[in-house]
Structure 1
Amino acid sequence: MGRHWGLDDIGWDKFDPSKVDPDMVMAIKTASLVEANSQDYVTYLLNVFQDETWLHEAIHRWGVEERLHGETLAAWAKLADPSFDFEASLNRFRQGYRLPLDATESVRGSRAGELLARCVVECGTSSYYSAIRDATEEPVLKQAAHLIAGDEFRHYKLFYDTLKRFDPKDSLGLFAKIRLTIGRVNEADDDELSYAFYCANYGPEVPYDRRKSILAYSKRAYSNYRYGHLARAIAMMLKAIGISPHGTVANLTQRGAWWLWEKRARKLSRMAA
């Protein structure tokens, strides 16, 4: 494996404030907190896979790269909004949102289920940063989002390959995998993103309203997507489940998911009006 990119590889001098979208800034601030909170996920995954020592180095490396994503996004957000206090926002977020760090078993019911859930998350993040890359006109964010999207795709491959090695007989079963995948997708509306949006964009003097926060975040996140971004994420999820990412089933699933996505986006737009 070659040298991984770092903060010095970003062309910060190309930052163009005239191309900054305020809604995008709020979304990037939110993402910076979630990505930078990777150490808690590392601790949790090491607890779940404590006996799989062959996986520990990869988990640590994954956590380091996720932390870099957070630092990169935070650095861009500070350029776009110098008032953004990343460390203070991250501390508030970490105090109010905690993973089950004392868990020794996966909250997904099995270690194979945990790996599948990680695949689903990486599908979402790789498509999200690809969407940001294609939506923004700001050169520095475009470069950063491109690099992060590439990392997230490799992270998906890491967890996918590990799942196949860890569970070669595919013990979960198709319906269990579909149920787990849908459940993990629906968790996008849980407290992690809504609370991160709140901590990143509002001070402690503003009361936390979960519903308002997730609506505000979703409105900004949904607007960046195009059909191809979602279709690729769906294809990756189908592959992780064990269903061909090509053909009739994939095509129908992708089109159905896009229909639901557009319906949700319209609803969010009306609610925000």
Structure 2
Amino acid sequence: MAGGQMMKADLADARWTLDAVPYESINVAQARTSDDVFYLVAAASFIETAADLYTDNLIGYFSGEPEVAAWLDGHWKPEELRHGRVLRGYVEHVWPEFDWALAYRGFFEEYSRACTVDEFEPTHSLEMVARCVVETGTATFYQALGELACEPVLRAMAARIRADEVGHYKYFYRFFQSCDGGRYPGRIRVLNALRRRMVEARGDDAECALRHVYRVRHGVDDVAARSALSARLTASVKRHYPVGLAARMLLKPLNLPPSVARVLEGPVARATARIML
């Protein structure tokens, strides 16, 4: 079954929501067979849990756009924090020996120093382009995680989080069209914003999270071993990464004619795989 079809099947087959994850239904023995999944879920839980930090910064940046600020505060922030809670809950249920709180404290201390307003784009519309890149990365990551996961509850959880992230992308794209008085910033500026955010998104947050997960799990940060682990995780995700979907999502803010977008989809997909993974 194709990735997108599998995700839809998971969504249709289970009736629970992210507000009531059936942790008691998790097949713990099955889930614990994959060390890679532990690291991917734990690292993702850190980044999602820290959402209030960068969301608050973003709300401040968009204080002049009341509709955007209200949506960020009332919808995006709570949903991102919910992702962090359910992923943390999964880690603590399946791997209770892992001190999640200790590892997260170390991560947050480092991550909070790097998460500043200075990273935002110079205009609101271009920042929405950057947000589209971020949501592309998260939506496609959770699709890949769902493909990697062998345990049904995690597969369904990944499908639900992916659906949220796709919804966020759609909102950011709509706001991109309306910010700055609805003036299109021009394809060159949009392309530059896309490129900047893709390069910045290349694993910095994930590497920070992985470092702290690894350190607490092993009691020491063996740089060589952690680097080998990081390379293995990247290869695992890349095997399941929906590069075509990522390319289509990234091309959309360029507002290209459909015929041109179709021609560019292949090269952009290959570039996306090289840059973002």
TM-score by length of 2: 0.81
Aligned in 2, Cα 1:218/1:233: closer, same or farther, shift over 3 Å? farther
Describe the superposition over 1:67-94 as per-residue Cα deviations: whole angstroms up to 9, x where unpaired: 1111111111223322222222221111
Match of 2:212 among 189, 199, 204: 199
CA distance in 1, matches of 2:141, 2:225: 21
Letter in 2 for 1:261: A
Match of 1:123 among 123, 132, 136: 136
CA contact (8 A) 2:30 2:150 kept: no
Confirm or deny that 1:91 pairs with 2:111. no
Aligned twin of 1:82 = 96
CA distance in 1, matches of 2:264, 2:128: 26
Bigger mean CA offset, 7-16 vs 40-49: 7-16
Aligned twin of 2:253 = 240
Aligned in 2, Cα 1:166/1:40: closer, same or farther, shift over 3 Å? same
SS in 2 for 1:33: helix
CA contact (8 A) 2:141 2:241 kept: no
CA contact (8 A) 2:214 2:221 kept: no
Confirm or deny that 1:229 pairs with 2:233. no
Aligned twin of 1:67 = 81
Aligned twin of 1:270 = none
CA distance in 2, matches of 1:183, 1:132: 25
* Structure 2: runs of 5 or more not aligned: 1-15
Alignment size in residue pairs: 258
Letter in 1 for 2:206: L
Describe the superposition over 1:18-55 as per-residue Cα deviations: whole angstroms up to 9, x where unpaired: 25411111111111100110001111111111122222
Bigger mean CA offset, 256-265 vs 88-97: 256-265
- Cα offset for 1:6? 3.1
Match of 2:191 among 158, 178, 181: 178
CA contact (8 A) 2:142 2:161 kept: yes
Describe the superposition over 1:74-127 as per-residue Cα deviations: whole angstroms up to 9, x where unpaired: 111223322222222221111111266773x76212211111100110011111
Which portions of structure 1, spanning 4 or more consecutive aligned residues, are displaced by more than 6 angstroms?
262-265
User: Alignment identity in percent?
Assistant: 23
CA contact (8 A) 1:97 1:191 kept: no
Bigger mean CA offset, 66-75 vs 195-204: 195-204
| Higher helix residue share | 2
Aligned in 2, Cα 1:99/1:110: closer, same or farther, shift over 3 Å? farther
SS in 2 for 1:109: coil
CA distance in 1, matches of 2:272, 2:18: 37
Confirm or deny that 1:217 pairs with 2:230. yes
- Cα offset for 1:249? 4.0
CA distance in 2, matches of 1:264, 1:54: 30
Query: Where in structure 2 are the equivalents of 1:1-273 lying within 5 Å?
Result: 5-10=17-22, 12-19=24-31, 20-60=33-73, 61-98=75-112, 103=117, 107-167=120-180, 168-171=182-185, 173-189=186-202, 191-203=204-216, 206-207=220-221, 209=223, 216-226=229-239, 229-244=242-257, 247=259, 249-255=261-267, 257-258=269-270, 261=273
Letter in 2 for 1:78: E
CA contact (8 A) 1:40 1:99 kept: no
- Cα offset for 1:137? 1.7
Aligned in 2, Cα 1:134/1:176: closer, same or farther, shift over 3 Å? same
* Structure 1: runs of 5 or more not aligned: 266-273
CA distance in 2, matches of 1:195, 1:263: 18
Aligned in 2, Cα 1:41/1:29: closer, same or farther, shift over 3 Å? same
TM-score by length of 1: 0.82
CA contact (8 A) 2:107 2:212 kept: yes
SS in 2 for 1:185: helix
